[in-house]
């Protein structure tokens, strides 16, 4: 892509051209020539969208929930971009499910931009391309950007680095899901949603989540769960009565305690309360300065990721120039050298170059 074509594409995207947005995201996903320059040009126009990550195990109803969230935001006059990160094809690296018809409530609405993207085998379920696509939607002017992940469990930690608010979906009566949360996902959730709340076991799942959040916030507590009651019933406090926004952590700083929201996504029940909770978390992030902290952490990790990718590509090229990986492996197998020595020899020219610049 020539510089003039790149400038034209960026200008059209910033002017609200949906075709330019789609073409830009395609170039980003395919890592086409010039995509880095495109993302770089868009960067100064980002920072306004609210980015929400939706994760949880398969079958929890993520797609239906995202559909209803997008519709409700649109009813409130806000624009929405949705990136659905699907499993990668082992053959092409592309999305297995492709552009699934799962935004039924928003068909024909040009202000809801939906795109399926491949995870491309990235640890955490999110590729660097997903983060870049979020920037494109942000620069385009979308008010809300929702990332729906593949639901691969606790490996989806990368969603935290891309989203401002992370929503974790749990199915009622899914004991395995709650155990999984104890293994790590609990730590990344800002909001927990018990979807399909009309199913048997919903009250117990809510109580289990509340207990786990309570334990995480105060491991030495006596588990006085109050409103759960001995019978396992659950009476949800009003959003305005939550102590979350005004609680202090152990260091005297304002903290956020994850909330639990019950929804029935198929009927839209609980979606308004979920949106209120998401808004409360956004307000907390802005008021406490955590939004800026999250952005700094995200950019630091992005720089490290790009450095690893670029350095790895340079070293792969050096390996090819020296006869390919097989020749190094042959030497290691024959005990003529070892992996550490091979790595040192390959990195040495790069190290020497950097040291000379100093």
CATH code for 47-287? 3.40.50.300
Reduced to 3 states (helix: H, G, I; strand: E, B; else coil), residue 133 is helix
C-alpha 262/C-alpha 271 separation (Å) is 9
Is-above-0.85 flag for pTM? no
- pLDDT value for 93: 47
C-alpha 49/C-alpha 145 separation (Å) is 7
Q: Mutual orientation of helices 339-357 and 290-321 as an angle, nearest 10°?
A: 110
Q: What are phi and psi of 309, to 5 degrees?
A: -65, -45
Domain spans, the chain: 47-287, 303-357
Do the beta carbons of residue 280 and residue 238 sit within 8 Å? no
Tokens 């790595």 found at: 343
- Our measurement of the distance from residue 94's CA atom to the centroid of its chain's CA atoms, rounded to an integer in Å, reads 18
pLDDT in tens, 126-168: 668 889 999 999 999 999 999 998 765 545 667 767 899 999 8
- pLDDT value for 336: 96
Least confident of 24-28, 78-82, 101-105, 269-273: 101-105
Q: What are phi and psi of 199, to 5 degrees?
A: -80, 160
- pLDDT value for 233: 38
Do the beta carbons of residue 165 and residue 53 sit within 8 Å? yes
In sequence order, what DSSP letters do the residues of 144-186 get, joined into one string?
A: EEEEE----GGGGGGHHHH-SEEEEEE-TT-HHHHHHHHTTGG
- pLDDT value for 60: 83
pLDDT in tens, 11-23: 999 999 999 999 9
pLDDT at 120 > cutoff 70: no
Token code pair at residue 257: 């305690």
- pLDDT value for 125: 45
């Amino acid at each position: 892509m020539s510089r003039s074509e790149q400038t034209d594409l960026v200008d059209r995207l910033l002017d609200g051209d949906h075709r330019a947005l789609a073409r830009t995201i395609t170039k980003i996903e395919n890592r086409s020539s010039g995509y880095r320059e495109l993302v770089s040009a868009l960067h100064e126009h980002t920072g306004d969208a609210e980015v929400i990550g939706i994760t949880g195990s398969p079958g929890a109803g993520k797609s239906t929930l995202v559909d209803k969230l997008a519709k409700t935001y649109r009813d409130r006059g806000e624009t929405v971009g949705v990136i659905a990160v699907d499993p990668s094809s082992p053959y092409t690296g592309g999305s297995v499910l492709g552009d699934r018809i799962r935004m039924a409530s928003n068909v024909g609405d040009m202000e809801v931009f939906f795109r399926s993207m491949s995870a491309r085998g990235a640890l955490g379920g999110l590729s660097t391309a997903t983060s870049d696509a979020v920037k494109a939607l942000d620069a385009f002017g979308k008010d809300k950007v929702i990332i729906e992940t593949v639901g691969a469990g606790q490996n989806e930690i990368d969603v935290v680095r891309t989203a401002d608010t992370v929503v974790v979906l749990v199915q009622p009566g899914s004991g395995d899901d709650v155990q999984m949360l104890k293994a790590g996902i609990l730590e990344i959730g800002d909001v927990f949603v018990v979807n399909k709340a009309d199913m048997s076991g919903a009250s117990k799942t809510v109580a289990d989540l509340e207990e786990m959040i309570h334990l995480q916030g105060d491991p030495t507590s006596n588990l006085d769960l109050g409103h759960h009651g001995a019978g396992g019933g659950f009476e949800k406090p009003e959003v305005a009565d939550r102590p979350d926004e005004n609680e202090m952590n152990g260091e005297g700083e304002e903290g956020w305690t994850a909330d639990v929201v019950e929804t029935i996504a198929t009927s839209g029940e609980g979606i308004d309360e979920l949106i209120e909770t998401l808004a409360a978390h956004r307000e907390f992030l802005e008021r406490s300065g955590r939004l800026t902290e999250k952005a700094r952490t995200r950019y630091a990790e992005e720089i490290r990721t790009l450095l690893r990718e670029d350095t790895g590509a340079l070293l792969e090229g050096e390996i090819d120039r020296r006869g390919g990986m097989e020749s190094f492996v042959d030497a290691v197998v024959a005990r003529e050298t070892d992996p550490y020595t091979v790595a040192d020899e390959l990195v040495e020219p790069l190290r020497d170059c950097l040291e000379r610049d100093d």
